[in-house]
Structures are given as structure tokens and as C-alpha cells.
Structure 1
Amino acid sequence: MQKVNINEVVKVMLNMQDKGEAVTLLGIGPMSKTLLKACFELGKEKDFPLLFIASRNQVDAAELGGGYVCNWNQRTFTQTIAETAAETGFDGLYYTCRDHGGPWQRDNERNDHLEEELAMQLGKQSYLEDLINGFDLLHIDPTKDPYEMGKVVPMESVLSRTIELIQYCENERKRLGLAEIGYEVGTEETNGGLTSRETYETFIQTLNSELEKRQLPTPTFIVGQTGTLVKMTENVGTFNSKNAQELASIAKQYGVGLKEHNGDYIDDHILLQHLPLGITATNVAPQFGTEETRAYIELAKVEEQLAQDGLIEHKSNVEYILTLQAIKSERWRKWMVGDQRELQIEDIFQQKELTDKILDIAGHYAFNHEEVKAEIQTLFHNLRQCNIDGERFVINRIKRSLNQYVECFNLEGSTTKIMKEIGVEV
């Protein structure tokens, strides 16, 4: 299928809202190769566009520290996506997107309190690799400021850094002779300041004015705070439909789509409201990693029973190894609440309930560990001997989770609808 610029897709979607054909796009955190396969299979079956949103911690250049997902850098990430699309026979629309790009967006950069000049330089270096490797959308997010922890980052700082980074990316894009790309601005973080209607509109107005002066493109998406917040494996925020509707309406006035982050673990009755409220896209990431983890644990239970029945001789140790490496990763801390963030690793192993919680939250951070991969393969081998396709079960389990959003966001058949609106026959 002919690739269409993501800016054009969003413009068409905003028009479709007025025709009673609203669609909310799904931004998918690429937690594993298995998730990519599930996405492409479902995308082919249900005919909807795929957006893969990779944070700098997940996917980044090796010289900047690489990524915890499959050790992917930008090149291997885009290659794997293309290969998986081909393997599954997917011929629809998909977009490779940078999520939370910019200064201090890697944990180590923020923890080390890098000076602003160096942090901006590293953010630009990461964006350059994104551009070289064909990313379609770049999230410009300079709000993770270690010197403003717990405070609202001044709008002047957010604006000046945003403009500087877009200017850099556009200069490099043109120098490399690359096609136009989309930009996402703003953040769902409360310290980014874009939480109220007034602040949101002022930010868009000021940013667009400054971009126009410099002959730079206006954003494709602007992130707004709709009240969602993920902790543990729950959405502990309170969805604010009034605020979401106001922010979406403001964004649309400026030809921009409202992007919601933290869309994980949301009930259907809230997801269904996204269409009438005008939310153009929603990002979901840890939920799909958790679903994959839960699938492995379910299969481990089956393997255990079959071993007790004498049908498996040497069972895997997948649950223990996955738990061990998930805890050792320490990436679970960001999802915990209260004093649990400060727990010592040795204390965690003494509490079964807590280790189970951390496995549920953070198992996906350990998928690429060599021991974990080996145990998963042993698990699959054992189950194959008993006529169970474990890998297929995992893929289908992820597809079930993805399909909740496909159904609620009116995504089925949306690629064909969007392409027809653009004037391209499918």
C-alpha cells in the first residue's frame, strides 16, 4: 500500500470526526518481537493503521546506551518492524514513532543531572538517528528537567527547547533529503504544565506563532492531560471527559490532534468516550508487556501440571528466572507507589506477594535477558511435545488485549476509510 504521511492521516481524521466517522489511533509501545507480530497480525485482520511508539529507554543508539527492548537501536528497530510486517503479510499503514524524545529522557541522563547543554546535545544525537532510520513521528518532550523536579517546568523553557529541537530536526531532515515527518509536542506529565485549558491553548498559540516565524512545520499532535495515570497494573487516574473534550476542541481549531498518554488499563466505558470527545490518538505500552508476561505464567502453570502428570520430564524454570531478572532490572520502581519505590532488592525476595506484583509490572523488562529467552524456549519446546503451541497462545493473548482498543476506537476498517478520504484507492 502507498505510504501516506502521518500529517495527512491526522488531517483527514479530524475531518472524519465531523462526518460521524471518528477514529482514535492507537500508539503501541513495542515491548517485544512477539508483540510486533501480534500487532501486524491483528492490523492485517482488522485493517487499521499501526503506530509504534518507542521511548529512548526502550530504543536508542548504542553510543547513547541502547535500549532495553531487544537491545534495539533505531536501525535494528526499524529493520525488525519491516521484517515482521513482511513475515505476516501486512500491507497496510504503519508508522515508527519516537515517544518522549529529547533531553534527560534516558533515566541515566536525568539521574546524573546532566547540564542542559549536554542533555540537549544527546537528545539531538538521538533524533538524528531517528531521522536517518526513517522514523515518521518525533515526540519533542523537553520537560523531564532534573533541576525542576516536582515543579512545573516554566513554559518559556519548554517552548524555547521545543523550538530549538524542531529547528534542529528540520535542518537535519532537509540536509539528508528526507521526506516530511510529523511532530508531537507537550507531555502528559504534570510538571510539563499542559494540564489546563488556558495553558494548553496559550502553548499552542505561542508555539505555532514562533514556528511560523521560522518557517517550521506545526505539530501533528499535542499531548494533553486527560486525567489518566498508570501505577502498578492499574490506571489510578480519574478520566476527565470535560477537560478531554475542551483540549481536543482547542487542538482541532489549530489543525492538531489531541494525543493522550497513559491509556493502559482503562475500562471500555471510558475508552468508548474517546470518539465523541475527539481524542485523536492514545498511547498504550506497559499493559501489552504485562499481558505477554501473564501469558508466559499461564503456560508455566500448564507445564507444571503436565510435569506432575508425567508428560514432561524436564520442565522449564521460566517463572522463577523471569521474576528474578525483572526484580534485578529495578525498572519496576517507576510504577510503584509510596515507600515501595525505595525497597531493597534483598527484602523483596522475602515477600511472595510483592515478588508476584513486580513480575506482573516488570516482567517485560527482562524478556531480552539470555536466561529468560532460554527458559521461554524450553517452555515452548515442552508444550509442543504435548501438542500445545505456546508461542501462538502468547500472540493470541496479546491480540485479545489489543482488540479491546480496536473495538472501542472504531479502528476496524479505518485504513481503507482514511485512504479513500485521501483519494487513494485500496
Structure 2
Amino acid sequence: MKPISKLGIGPMSQEIIEAVYRYSENNSEPLMLIASKNQIDWSGGYVNDWTTRQFAEYCNVLKKKYPKAKVYLCRDHCGPGFKNDDINDVYKTINDDLDNGFEVIHIDFCHYKGVYEERLAESKKAIEHILKKKPGTIIEIGTDENKGDFLTNIKHVDSEMEFFKKVAPIHFFVCQTGSLIKEVNQAGAFNTEFLKKIKDLSVKYDFCLKEHNADYLDSRSVAMRKGIIDAVNVAPQYGIIQTTLTLSKCYAYGINVDDYLEDAYMSGKWKKWLKKNDQNNKYLCSVIAGHYNFAKDSYKKIYKEINKYEDFRETIIKEIMNNIDIYIKNF
């Protein structure tokens, strides 16, 4: 099976979203926007304070601006434990996504409070609900929490693929590759030999293999995945690119960033990403949490100040497109 796209990108800001549409049109390259429940949801999210409907409406505007672009709206990590533990909330997300034109749903019940067999059963139930409500929806499945571990149990993956093959047509199967994001780095490693065997299984079951947490890879690391992994997701990196670009422009133009850095630090959104550092490295923590706070007045203020010197929106879009290029041209 050929993947619908090689690259999924987190919609961290309006600029990043537009970069995806522009790159897709300019390069005739299908791309995926992968929205987590924290970013965008039926009840709102941290990206521009958007609901799912507002996000879809913005994407529809960009579809008209870039009519030759092919961008799939995708739900990333749809399952309990990613925003709250309420299973009803998961189904509200699914229903609202489908009502607003989402084409791909990633079912991920890795945080479901039950034994493994119950996790599979609940995943099956969610997939059947999706396909009953909107037949033809592209399904992505993944049931293991990503911890950067080097997996070895091929029989477990084989059994899981066999299970989902009987449930419905599965497009993407998410496999743990060893990748792991910590702070502003790729802290994992690519489990090559294991994944070659998993690739053989994916061919057997006619699934596309997808890797999450593929951020911060150079061209050589991306090329290592060619012929093994069919598609990758990259998200925090794009938020970090915009954050560091914003700060560098502020320093160059003498714009005070104290309020923005304080908002980012106080949000606490850096906590899960730390590895070697701690809360005392306030600047690093603020950079890590920066994109969670693009909707804050403190960010809008410095953004407006930068625009007095240059078209900052265009600067961000071009920088994001340059990074997309690394993945597309080497994968």
C-alpha cells in the first residue's frame, strides 16, 4: 500500500498551517496536518484558542488560496488520557472531527484504564463507530505509548496487526521505532533491524508503517528510514522553530521578550519534555513551552513589534518550508 502522504505536521500556529498548504501546492506534495486534542478540539485548544470548526474554517480559506494543495486534516492521538480520561469526550472529538471534514483519525487507546485485551476491544469499537458515521475515513492505529524503547517482540506486533486487519481497512499502523523527543532534541535512536522485520509484517497485512516523534532529524537520519517507514509525524519541532525565530528577531531588533518568556515558563508546558535539565533552566523551559503560548497577548505584542521591521509571517512560513524540505527530499 502507498501512503497518502509521507509527512504529518503539527498545526502549532496559523503560519505553520499556511506553510503546509503553500509547500503542498508549490511542490505537488500531499501533506497531513495532525491535530492533537490539546491543540485543537471540539471544546477548544491552545492553538489560536480554536475549536475544531474554527480550525477547519481556517483550512478552508487556505484551500481556496492554494487550490492545488493536497492537505489532509488528521486527528492525532484520539483516545482517553491525552486531554482527559472521559471516553465520552473521545467520541465527541471523533464526531466533531468527521462533521468538520477530517479525513484521517488516529485511534490511540494506550492510556485506556484497562487490560490489553480491553484496550484492543475499545479501539475496535471506536474504529467501527468512525466507519459507520463516515465510511471511507482513513484509519490510523497505535496502541503503545511511545517511550523511546527498543522493542524486540515481533510476535506481539504480528498479533496486533492481525487483530486490526480483521476489524477494518487500516491505512497507518504506528510502530515504536526508538525515537523520543526530549527538550529540543531527538533523544532516541532508530531500531533498524527490528523495524525491517516489522516492515515485512506491514507488507503482509497491507498496512503503511508510521513513525511518531520523528522531530529534530537531519537529512541523514531521515534517509535511514527510507524503505522501512512509510510516513512520519513531526510536531514540537515546528513550534520550536517559530519560537526561536521569534526570540532571535526580538533580540536583533531590541524588543523586550520578558513577558512572553514568563508566560511560557508559568504555563508549565515544559515539564514533560525535560531530560537533563530542570526548572532552574528557566530560559530553556520557556523556549520548550513557547508554542503553547502563541495565543497569549504577550506573544501577539512582540509579533506586532517584529512586523514593524519585516513581514514576519512570511519569514516564519519560509523557515517552516525549508524544514519540511529536509523530510520530503530525503525520505
TM over 0.5: yes
Deviation, structure 1 residue 187: 4.3
Deviation, structure 1 residue 275: 1.6
Which residue of structure 2 lines up, in the alignment, with residue 370 of structure 1? 297
> Aligned equivalents of 1:97 and 1:29: distance in 2?
10
Give a deviation string over 1:16-38, Cα, whole Å, max 9, x none.
xxxxxxx9700000000010111
Deviation, structure 1 residue 357: 0.9
Do the aligned partners of 1:228 and 1:263 also contact (CA within 8 Å) in 2? yes
> Aligned equivalents of 1:168 and 1:338: distance in 2?
42
> Aligned equivalents of 2:294 and 2:175: distance in 1?
31
Which residue of structure 1 lines up, in the alignment, with residue 155 of structure 2? 198
1:52-67 counterparts in 2 under 5 A? 52-62=33-43, 66-67=44-45
> Aligned equivalents of 1:371 and 1:301: distance in 2?
15
Do the aligned partners of 2:303 and 2:312 also contact (CA within 8 Å) in 1? no
Deviation, structure 1 residue 194: 11
Are residue 92 (structure 1) and residue 59 (structure 2) matched?
Answer: no
> Aligned equivalents of 1:122 and 1:251: distance in 2?
31
> Aligned equivalents of 1:142 and 1:194: distance in 2?
21
Deviation, structure 1 residue 180: 1.3
Are residue 73 (structure 1) and residue 51 (structure 2) matched?
Answer: yes
Which residue of structure 1 lines up, in the alignment, with residue 108 of structure 2? 141
> Aligned equivalents of 2:222 and 2:259: distance in 1?
35
Give the 3 Å change call, closer, same or farther, for CA 46–187 of structure 1 in structure 2: farther
Which residue of structure 1 lines up, in the alignment, with residue 326 of structure 2? 404
Matched to 1:129, the amino acid is D
Give the 3 Å change call, closer, same or farther, for CA 27–231 of structure 1 in structure 2: same
Which residue of structure 2 lines up, in the alignment, with residue 295 of structure 1? 245
Give a deviation string over 1:55-77, Cα, whole Å, max 9, x none.
10111112xxx211111111111
Are residue 285 (structure 1) and residue 266 (structure 2) matched?
Answer: no
> Aligned equivalents of 1:218 and 1:334: distance in 2?
34
Per the alignment, in what secondary structure is the counterpart of residue 33 of structure 2?
A: strand
What residue ranges of structure 1 are gaps of 5+ in the alignment?
1-10, 14-22, 148-152, 174-178, 212-216, 305-315, 349-353, 410-426
Are residue 38 (structure 1) and residue 19 (structure 2) matched?
Answer: yes
Which residue of structure 1 lines up, in the alignment, with residue 127 of structure 2? 166
What residue ranges of structure 2 are gaps of 5+ in the alignment?
none
- The structure that has the greater radius of gyration is 1
> Aligned equivalents of 2:118 and 2:260: distance in 1?
41
> Aligned equivalents of 2:77 and 2:300: distance in 1?
28
> Aligned equivalents of 1:338 and 1:163: distance in 2?
39
Selected match of 1:184 from 115, 140, 144 = 140
Which residue of structure 2 lines up, in the alignment, with residue 416 of structure 1? none
Are residue 392 (structure 1) and residue 317 (structure 2) matched?
Answer: no
Runs of 4 or more consecutive aligned structure 1 residues displaced over 6 Å after TM superposition:
191-194
Are residue 248 (structure 1) and residue 199 (structure 2) matched?
Answer: yes
1:94-109 counterparts in 2 under 5 A? 94-106=71-83, 109=84
> Aligned equivalents of 1:332 and 1:12: distance in 2?
36
Aligned length: 330
Give the 3 Å change call, closer, same or farther, for CA 97–76 of structure 1 in structure 2: same
Give a deviation string over 1:77-136, Cα, whole Å, max 9, x none.
11111212323x241321000000022220xx2xxxx4xxxx222111111111111110
> Aligned equivalents of 1:104 and 1:371: distance in 2?
30
Give the 3 Å change call, closer, same or farther, for CA 12–222 of structure 1 in structure 2: closer
Which residue of structure 2 lines up, in the alignment, with residue 223 of structure 1? 174
Which residue of structure 1 lines up, in the alignment, with residue 225 of structure 2? 274
Deviation, structure 1 residue 190: 4.7
Deviation, structure 1 residue 287: 0.4
Give the 3 Å change call, closer, same or farther, for CA 161–230 of structure 1 in structure 2: same
Do the aligned partners of 1:288 and 1:398 also contact (CA within 8 Å) in 2? yes
- When the two structures are superposed, what TM-score results if normalisation uses the length of structure 2? 0.93
Matched to 2:284, the amino acid is K
Per the alignment, in what secondary structure is the counterpart of residue 274 of structure 1?
A: coil
Deviation, structure 1 residue 44: 1.8
> Aligned equivalents of 1:162 and 1:225: distance in 2?
18
Q: CA RMSD in A?
A: 2.2
Which residue of structure 2 lines up, in the alignment, with residue 121 of structure 1? 88
Deviation, structure 1 residue 405: 0.7
Do the aligned partners of 1:194 and 1:200 also contact (CA within 8 Å) in 2? no
Report percent identity of matched pairs: 28
Deviation, structure 1 residue 370: 2.2
Larger helix share, 1 or 2: 1
Give the 3 Å change call, closer, same or farther, for CA 103–301 of structure 1 in structure 2: same
Give the 3 Å change call, closer, same or farther, for CA 336–246 of structure 1 in structure 2: same
- When the two structures are superposed, what TM-score results if normalisation uses the length of structure 1? 0.73
Give a deviation string over 1:320-374, Cα, whole Å, max 9, x none.
222111112111111112683xx4xxxx4xxxxx122123212111111123112
